[in-house]
Each structure stands twice: as C-alpha cells, then as structure tokens.
Structure 1
C-alpha cells in the first residue's frame, strides 16, 4: 500500500511505494500483436513460490501480489478511468488491519456474520477480489489516504438496497427465534446488491483536480480473455473536470458523468463482483468524515448521500435480538483478567492515536495523550500502556469495539459506530489543503 512520506532534507512530501523485484505483466501491454495471448497468460499465472521478496517488504506482499495478478487478469483496467497503465495498484475497499492475523480473522468473521460474502463462502477474505479494485497510483492515494472522492451506488440502487436490507433484517430476526445460529438471509449475489450502477462524488474537488486539470476516462473498453481471440481495440477517451461534487464533461454543455456499471470479466471467469455493501461502508467513512469536518460547505447531494449511506450502514450492521454475542463470550479468555474487567468501559470513539511516523505531520489530527506517557510510569512495567496497532487501536480497545459491534442489545447507531471503528480504527483522512498551507508557511 502506498503511503505519504515527508522528506526532511527536501522539505516536501512524496508518495512512497513498496519496492517489488518485478511488476506482474499487464495483459494490455505487449510488443507485438502476436504477443497478446502470451501477455495475458503471464498475467493469469500466479507468482512464483520460489521468488524471493525484498527483505524490507511487509509480510502481506505475497498475498498482495497474488491479488494484483487476479485483478490484472479479471479487471484489467482502472475501476474509474478504464486506464491500463503499468502503475495500477490494488485498492482495498475495506482497508482494515491486515498485518495482524488475529484482528484480520476477527474482522473477516464479523463481515461473514453480517452477510457480506456470498452464501457459498466460508469467510469474507479481505485480500480477495471481492474487496478490491484497481486504481492508478495517484488516484489510489487520493481515494485511500485523502478521501477526495468516493464511489456510491446510484441513488435508485441505494434506495432499493435499503428496502431490501430492512426486509432481510426482519426475516433474520424471525429466523433467530427458531435457531440463534442461522446465517443471515442475505444473498449479495442477487439484485439489488449484484452489480449496481456506480456514481462518483467529489468531496474535495480542488484537491483531486486542481486548476481545471482534466481526468481522462475510457469509453468502449475492451477486455482480453484467455483462450479467446484478442478483441480489436476500440477505446475512445473523454475528458472530465471537477465541478462542485460532480465530474462533468470538459466541453460544453458540461454534462455530469453518468452512473456506470463496473467493467470487467469477473462474471465470465466465475469471479464474484466487488462487494457493493463493502463499497457502501467505504463511502460512509468518507462522507461521515467530510460532514464532520466540512459539513457547513456540503452540497445538497453530499448531504443526501451522507444520510442514505448512514442509513444503509446501520442496516448492514444490524444484529437481531437473540443472536449470541460470540465476541463478548470469548472476551475474558482472549484477553487478560484485567482486560475482561474493562468490558463495560466506553468505546474509544473520541480517542485519536498516531504512529511515530505521523507525529506532528501537517494535515494530521493530533492524538490524545495516553496515560503512561509520563516518565513516572517507566519503573512500573505492569502498568505500561498498550501500544496501538497501525489502525490506532490497542488490543483491548479493538476487543471492546468488536464486542459492541456484535452486541444485539446495543442501539443500532451505536452498534454501527462500533463496527466502523472496528473496520477503520481511529485514523482520519489526511487534509491536503492543510498540508499545502503548512508547507507554504515554512
């Protein structure tokens, strides 16, 4: 995953990318027409198990390489622009902590309980195509780090999803009375969840496309499929600029970008489409952060979608009365005795933690000092505070929010807030305008 790195010598920011020995081949890039099928075959081939990774790469790099190979074979292009450039990156929709295997399993188990996976699946794999799209490196940073834009279902699709979820939750509540452990009756492979129309909302248009900078989007996209004749290229490029919360045509009469269906060949290779409910959760995190920090400037469209995504997320994280809270039952044996005594403590909703790499960086939300920062605690190791993980939550805090996210007796909004904290932690989207203003003052 890319990250923003501050170079103190140069006094500037740069995008830091993980170093790889060799990029997987892109099926759209070839030296001659006869090499098309060979390029596609190489893209479909899994990474070599004997290949040695860079010693500084995180342990997730192997699974990330495999996921990128699958997306290059099945999606082939940027989800937004349709570009097939070599710097396409895996953009996780639910970008939860994946380096901590215990937390990863907890999140995947929770998402399976909530029915985000197809009924035939035994887990919701965070490192699978169902939870990922391809984006150019620059758009990946904009989407994941700065939250300058988000993807939402077209309004009619979103309303249909909300009605279907409410009916599904009523059915689940009835089934739980018969058997508390019955799986949620939610079929995400059927309408209205399967392949909805997607719309783009610009939350920070002047950060995403400053000074009238255009964004090229491909129309009439072609896709390669192994064993099939290569299609004739017929892609045409259209130019779009930012206008309010819309992408609009660069030329008059500046029509807004119409909602679109994800373009890929997943259905042809029996690969499930991206999780529309996961994308709703992702959009809610961005819209909620925008309304909290910039609500006074929100357009009517942003306000409307913010409420709609909030209502959807509340229904997604519904847990019926009578459903056992597995996390709460396991809580004492998963933590220490002292941790178990904290089960009634309030969730760390207002606590913002930072990693050492982010301390005092412009545009970052300042962390709340933790107990134990004083040197008087150095001589008492037993009372030393826990270190937060990369999501800003300590192990105890994560167990608390997990228990609350699974608690059927909690108020719906409070349970949804706990679930969002479990998935996204305390980290906030970075503020590019604040970073730039800080740099200009120095």
Structure 2
C-alpha cells in the first residue's frame, strides 16, 4: 500500500493530470447514470461520452442534454464543464487554501502544466486571479442573459438557462439545454453579443486578460499578448467576411434573413469554430467551402492558458512566422522586434505534427467504421480534437467504436498530444553531440 501511495505521489505532472482527468470523467459518468440524473435509460458508453465531452469542454453529444438528463444530471454536466474549463488544479488550489495546507513545489509544477505556463513565478497568484475573474465574468453574463430569458421563460427557468449557458459559453463548451442549440436566437442581438463575448474572452487566454488589466498601453504588453490580441481580431474579422460571403445566398443558413440578420448570423458562426461549439444555423446545411474553412479554424483553436482547444493560435502563428523567415532567408523568426526561440518553433512543430497524427488515425478508423461521407467524418473528428462541439449530425448516430474513437480524440485534444508524449515517452537527455550532416528536402 505504501509503495502504491509513493508511486501515485511521485507521478510526473503530465501523468498525474491524465490520471486525475480520467478519474473525474469516470466519476462523472457514474453520476450521470444515476436514476436521479436521467429521464430515460442511459448506457455507460453514452454517459462516458457525455462526461468526457463536458470535462474536455467539447460539447458533442450522443443524447440530447435537455431531454435525456434531469435537472440534477444537467447540473453534473455544468460542474464538469466548470472543472474542465478552469482546470482541475485551479480548484485544487482553492481546496488547499481552504484547508490551510501549504502548496509545495510539486503542486506548483502540476498547476504550471495544467495552465500551460512557462514558469513557476506567481503561479498561485495567477490561479487566484483566474478563479475570481472567471466567476465574475460568468456572473455579469448571467445578469445580461436574465434580461432576455427571465421575461421570456419566467424567473426560475430563465435564471437557470442563463447560468447554464454562461458557464458553457465562457468555458468554450458549447453545451446547450435546447436541442437546436441557440438557433432560436439567430438574430437576437443580446444573445449574439453576450454569448460570443463570453467564449472570445474565455478563448483568448487568462494571461492575456490579466496582462491587459495590468498594462494599459499596447507596447507594454508581453509578446504573447500582442500576438494573441492582433491575431484574434484579424482571424475573427477575416472569418466573418468569408462566412458572410460564402453563405450570403444559402437559404439553408443565412440566405433568407435581412441584411442585419445575415450580419449577426455570419458573425456568430464565424467566431464559434474557435472551440466555442454553439451554433445559430444548421451546420449540415452550410456550403462545403464554409465547412472546409471552419475545419481550419477548429484545428487552430483559441489561445494558450485558455478554456479553448486546438493547437492554439500562437502555435499556428509561430509556424507561419518561421516559414516566412525561411522564405526570406533569415535565421530567426521575428515579430514586434522580438526573436522567437528555436525551441519554441520546434515545440510548435511537434505539437502540430502530433495533432495531425492523432486526427489522421481517428479519421481513418471512423471512415472504416461509420457509414458517413468523408467530409462529415473529418468535420466531426476535428471538432472533437479542437474541443469545439460543432456537428454535422454524425455524433448522434455513432457506433460504439465511433464513440470510443471520439472519446479518445476529445481527451487528446483537451490534454494535448505533447502531454501524452511527455507522460509515456521515455525521456532521453541530449547529452551526446553527434556530427551534423545534411539531407535533401523539398
């Protein structure tokens, strides 16, 4: 027993995070199978899928959240979303502080790994700010959503809907208590603005938000914050224009709306692939070109140290900047008069290649085991890996094999391929230096 306890305590941060994540998912699955949680019989694989989707803040569902689960079941899902979005270690720190226990170097390393930070400095202070900031933003959003839904549904139902969708949106989960997500509010400005602001703020990254709070001038911000802010604005504007143009005359999506309605619907659907998962139009009716563009957005995802998934915007931009530097015959990628470190580029490449490998394996298995068009399979897989939650309708008809594949894909997308690589690959320090030799490329 002592040996097992020591092994558990001495687990590396990546292995410990994976173990805790899996433990909470299993616990969530068991809670969702209780009679008090459901309105109909739910199989273990469906409960496991739902718990994994909630814990990884994905939003893909195999049973309807609003009809298959009772109020208690929906609250369990909401708690899993909050745990998965803000991070297990964030709540662990809160419990440690409540119990008056000291947070040692081991715990700090785990928090650093969980929040994707580069150093241990100020990590506990960051966690405290993160918790207060997140709950404050969610509370403000609930107030605004209540102005719409309380008069419409009554105070109790309106308040609950506001809380559930606020938590789901801020954590980029995409879960909704309605079967058609937010399609009933496609041209409602309050819902469009509040929900999108929630998942944009949650997806940009907490370090960026705190940096903006501390430094009012753009030139004072860290390089990461500058890239994330400019990159997010540029990608969102470009995405809006692409979706607006491609779907303008599509009667299955925004074609029948007024110009103002088209602008709202195009805006919402342009920003939601950044791992938010809500939809106000039928995804299956969108043009193939729009779907392909959304595939790219879902794969890239949001920001590091955020509630979003994907390979992250900064990872994609680091690779693009390195490519531009190579074409210009420069030795280093430079942005805002700062040089990107060689190891950072290698890490970005490793993360991207690992992600492509995971998605490729999942697509291959699903294409063999599911009776669905290739684009639908690819869309569902990347949506799962990017923890987005948008669906073309395949998830609800997945076979057991398909559900298992998507479950592992969601886990890989949330924790990241590098976390699994560091957890299980044997680390071999680069002690011996071998002579270099060129190979032909290109």
**TM bracket (short chain):** under 0.3
Normalised to the residue count of structure 2, the TM-score between the two structures is: 0.26
- TM-score scaled by structure 1? 0.26
More helix by share: 2
